[in-house]
Structure 1
């Protein structure tokens, strides 16, 4: 433990100070540009500027209100990297932050998934990325948890507006530690309340503790000038008291008479609230054990933000904060490390179109969720990993070590003397894609030519990401050249030293699907005909046994009928909900003008992983 001078009351843990007793600074990696993966509920206007690449890059130039073109943002990735990258444009601009961080159990990363039309239920275990996050959070016990929270809370303070509030939802295991930490970060004087949320639920028989029936929510502000509107969340009087609303009442206080007027809008909100879970949340449940009720978030958002304000949740999970902010007419930013959480949140926001509980501010903007974007930082996380892993070497040496590293994990040996062949595994030759760009069709063609020139009959291509539409096109080319081609995804697990050490790395084939496209005049019909997950042998029996037909693998599919080689615009979609498990396998669209168009089809499986293809059509 480093020797430190104690000159204030504070919480100390291993990792907070260095060996010389100096406070370890909070890293602010980046900023990295956000990649726009998908735009939802925003029809094409014809004014979009195509980048001609796999992604657009978001520059945050859309203004600060809905009227100025603001789009809400759902971001997949590590929230530390995301918040650090948001600082450039959003420091001091977020009016309300609510977070529900992990409490100390693996349940924070587990979800219940419904499969197929029969809604067969399975439990989705951690992905390797989520497992890594769990190890990073709890690998060194409480010390690593507190370090994780400290780094993120410091960044949240910088993002918070001067009139902003932050609510941190915790339970009996870590709440008291985080309270002392937040006193240091936000200032003891800016602590406003400890809110007690009480709920009901079953109790395990024979348990040797008092039944746990509440969580705590710590409320801090950035300054004394903060938003708080109690009239919006006043609680109704009991029936007996309602006859007294607005009337004067005299109380005797010692020898004095005190006259008060009972408020007409209900009693002042208290820091103790009862909002049940269980049956009360039956219509909200999306399979997350840690999901919180919308009524709880509605209370917080109404009290501490105004319509049009910016609300953020950096551990958004099932998307409760974002869904409620949407219904209440607030702008929002949400992020999560789980790809599946992002997918479930996307569906939840899309389903607001059918919601009957849009609040007045939400109704101003229509009967469905306003346009929002799905973004990620994935490519730049890999670049950061490459820099950290292969530093202090010249470019040629760093590239060689990167290739050798990936080939070793794949069970292949390096070979020299070729531009587009990097290794050999058995009788197959191997090509490894770059760390910072998708594998292109031209790269595959060049690798196939190199393979054929050496008399090779089998080629494996490893890539982090793949050019849209590559799968079908390159398969046909390889067949003509007499080369058996296998495309494999380099998993994000290779970024994790522990997973590498344990030998947990598996390279999966790309999933693929078939569609039938028919045109009649200016009308086009797209029918989904098949979907194949090649690596089913690596999927647990519990899951495979629930699959009755190929459509059971699919949870969602969407189409951009006029793809401009820029960003996928979700123009049509069909997805399974808790109430409606059916999937519409046909989509039709009528073009305004004849011509040649690109149709971008995206299919998302039950694990939240997407597969995409692009098709060229001509309508007359």
Structure 2
């Protein structure tokens, strides 16, 4: 390895520099965002706004909305790897985020595991991290402190590029790791831009050792992007000590002066850098039973001190959504991101519980798990030989992961696993009913009695169980009539994770299914009632002793919503119901919806299970 020239004081770890002694570049990959759901916004409101309108379910977010609420800004909750998310935000948000707060993992346990309550009794089940989450955990901690520093360094570099000129960043750390990150932030942001080292002291948590002084604090490092940073002292002035009474009073701050008990006093003080704020307890209203959840009071102080109403606040490890919830209550715009599906789901419900919550959208980092095949592998699609070779490599790769052998000479059948023929859906399009029908035709012609269809995305209405206990989807019935057993299987996002694929950890799960009744209580009025839910992967995810306690199919459902006029685009939440920690009952029938005029409408129903996985099915309804 080449000798590294030391020109400054810095923290160095294995892997920071290339073999030639140059600093490794931070990867910046710009990928498309796909809008999955718009919340608290009517379709009429959405269509009246200019720009940023998705025309189909698979179009990408264009980011044409304005930079204020008045100009149509929508807050954003994003599922995906935060390094990829931030790289994809750079084009439109570089230098535009006013405040970043992050609480990155600093434990040594499984950071993505959680307990989820089931049904009305709230019986909790432990959910192991997914393969994708496990890979992220290995990347962060697989080589100990070395991999952790690489992970955090790359992300901090991109965060600085996203910060506005007057912006600040707060990084929440454990006392065992903070000294490393302090040196790293000195390098990235500059020692001249160090603002504060804040001690968060949580007095009410129990001590756990008698062998040393009990650790009762975290550290929050605050850095600015430039020396011209924003700090709103008057927003966070706190109690003042009156010498005569020797106790704290809450002053009213008016025009730079405070008034206590009607008498003028010294203005309330700006808080010191040691904050005594209780941790979140199970008895508090804000408790989400989420690991490492931080109290809203803590984030309130940070957001008030370093942003104004309308400013843009971001949290790229958003967890249970504390930063976003507080930003919403304080009138800030916000962007949140997490790799955990459960975190995204918990945050969505938490935001919905806020009175008058402004519209927000849920986004995927659209198809990043397929970007390898769309861009890098396919290359120039005008070159037929390149495209054909890439298609062959793609099919061979998926077949190998599925444990199937390739077959040649078929137009719609790509492989065989045991007695079953296998069809693989395209990379950049949903599996359609017509596509399955063509594969069925080939099965019948070859006198094959079983067909497995693997897909990334699915045409609405295709979902259904892969057994005879329930009705199944439309294509299951067609297949049965033709003497073919049909299985629809999800290609998991984990297939693009090299380590997971190499370990053979990839599992192809059957699609979940739910049944509904369409109710018509009066003319031009429709309501939806759930009648069934089946998710085959629950047998894999839930221990047998917990499954034995499940009383009914609805116990597996945590949330469901209805788009009354789905137009093959983004899901628009027209009605929603979900369980909370306190209210475990879930209504299985929606409120009625009245249409303005008769016609045929497509109703899309979305169901989210107790682990945050969602399933959608569409129904065409004739309204008279």
Q: What is the TM-score when the length of structure 1 is the normalising length?
A: 0.91
Q: Matches of residues 393-472 of structure 1 in structure 2 within 5 Å? A: 394-471=386-463, 472=473
Q: Is residue 510 from structure 1 mapped to residue 498 from structure 2 by the alignment?
A: no
State which drifts further: 263-272 or 73-82: 263-272
Which of the residues 90, 94, 97 maps onto 2:93? Answer: 90
Matching residue of 2:620: 616
Matching residue of 1:145: 148
- The separation in 2 between residues aligned to 1:389 and 1:544, in whole angstroms, is 43
- Report the CA distance shift for 1:231/1:73 in structure 2 as closer, same or farther (over 3 A): same
Q: Matches of residues 231-246 of structure 1 in structure 2 within 5 Å? A: 231-238=234-241, 240-241=245-246
Matching residue of 1:381: 369
Render the CA deviation track for 1:473-503: whole Å, top value 9, x for unaligned.
3223222322210001112222223322322
Which of the residues 169, 185, 191 maps onto 2:194? Answer: 191
Matching residue of 1:128: 131
Matching residue of 1:15: 15
**2:320 aligned counterpart, secondary structure:** coil
- The separation in 2 between residues aligned to 1:204 and 1:328, in whole angstroms, is 34
Matching residue of 1:288: 290
- The separation in 2 between residues aligned to 1:63 and 1:609, in whole angstroms, is 31
Matching residue of 1:220: 223
Q: Is residue 589 from structure 1 mapped to residue 593 from structure 2 by the alignment?
A: yes
Question: Could you tell me how far 1:280 is from its partner in structure 2?
Answer: 8.0
Matching residue of 1:257: none
Q: Matches of residues 496-507 of structure 1 in structure 2 within 5 Å? A: 496-507=497-508
Question: Could you tell me how far 1:262 is from its partner in structure 2?
Answer: 8.7
Instruction: Check the 8 A contact 2:189/2:223 in 1, yes or no.
Output: yes
**1:552 aligned counterpart, secondary structure:** helix
Instruction: Check the 8 A contact 2:239/2:251 in 1, yes or no.
Output: no
**2:539 aligned counterpart, secondary structure:** helix
- Report the CA distance shift for 1:207/1:65 in structure 2 as closer, same or farther (over 3 A): same
Render the CA deviation track for 1:103-145: whole Å, top value 9, x for unaligned.
0322421222111001112222211111000001111211111
**1:231 aligned counterpart, secondary structure:** helix
Q: Matches of residues 179-578 of structure 1 in structure 2 within 5 Å? A: 179-203=182-206, 206-238=209-241, 240-241=245-246, 264-279=266-281, 282-353=284-355, 368-384=356-372, 394-471=386-463, 472-519=473-520, 520-539=522-541, 540-578=543-581
Render the CA deviation track for 1:204-242: whole Å, top value 9, x for unaligned.
655533211000000000112211111211121246256
Instruction: Check the 8 A contact 1:596/1:618 in 2, yes or no.
Output: yes
Matching residue of 1:360: none
Gaps of 5+ in 1: 247-260, 354-367
- The separation in 2 between residues aligned to 1:301 and 1:345, in whole angstroms, is 18
Which of the residues 119, 131, 137 maps onto 1:116? Answer: 119
Instruction: Check the 8 A contact 1:379/1:437 in 2, yes or no.
Output: no
- The separation in 1 between residues aligned to 2:545 and 2:373, in whole angstroms, is 34
- Report the CA distance shift for 1:180/1:574 in structure 2 as closer, same or farther (over 3 A): same
Question: Could you tell me how far 1:53 is from its partner in structure 2?
Answer: 2.7
**1:307 aligned counterpart, secondary structure:** coil
Question: Could you tell me how far 1:243 is from its partner in structure 2?
Answer: 8.8
Question: Could you tell me how far 1:164 is from its partner in structure 2?
Answer: 0.4
Q: Aligned pairs, how many?
A: 591
- Report the CA distance shift for 1:555/1:296 in structure 2 as closer, same or farther (over 3 A): same
- Report the CA distance shift for 1:608/1:280 in structure 2 as closer, same or farther (over 3 A): closer
Q: Is residue 162 from structure 1 mapped to residue 161 from structure 2 by the alignment?
A: no
Render the CA deviation track for 1:6-33: whole Å, top value 9, x for unaligned.
1100111111110110011111112x22
- The separation in 2 between residues aligned to 1:218 and 1:319, in whole angstroms, is 20
Instruction: Check the 8 A contact 1:74/1:334 in 2, yes or no.
Output: yes
- Report the CA distance shift for 1:300/1:244 in structure 2 as closer, same or farther (over 3 A): closer
- Report the CA distance shift for 1:65/1:104 in structure 2 as closer, same or farther (over 3 A): same
- The separation in 2 between residues aligned to 1:408 and 1:86, in whole angstroms, is 34
- The separation in 2 between residues aligned to 1:395 and 1:426, in whole angstroms, is 29
Instruction: Check the 8 A contact 1:557/1:603 in 2, yes or no.
Output: yes
- The separation in 2 between residues aligned to 1:400 and 1:316, in whole angstroms, is 39
- Report the CA distance shift for 1:280/1:234 in structure 2 as closer, same or farther (over 3 A): farther
- The separation in 2 between residues aligned to 1:15 and 1:389, in whole angstroms, is 27
**1:3 aligned counterpart, secondary structure:** coil
- The separation in 1 between residues aligned to 2:374 and 2:281, in whole angstroms, is 48
**2:351 aligned counterpart, secondary structure:** helix
Instruction: Check the 8 A contact 1:422/1:430 in 2, yes or no.
Output: yes
Instruction: Check the 8 A contact 1:311/1:332 in 2, yes or no.
Output: yes
**1:534 aligned counterpart, secondary structure:** coil
Render the CA deviation track for 1:494-513: whole Å, top value 9, x for unaligned.
22233223222211100100
Question: Could you tell me how far 1:165 is from its partner in structure 2?
Answer: 0.5
Q: What is the TM-score when the length of structure 2 is the normalising length?
A: 0.91
- Report the CA distance shift for 1:209/1:438 in structure 2 as closer, same or farther (over 3 A): farther
Runs (4+) off by over 6 Å: 242-246, 389-393
- The separation in 1 between residues aligned to 2:568 and 2:250, in whole angstroms, is 65
Gaps of 5+ in 2: 253-262, 464-472
Render the CA deviation track for 1:7-63: whole Å, top value 9, x for unaligned.
100111111110110011111112x22100000000111736975532342211111
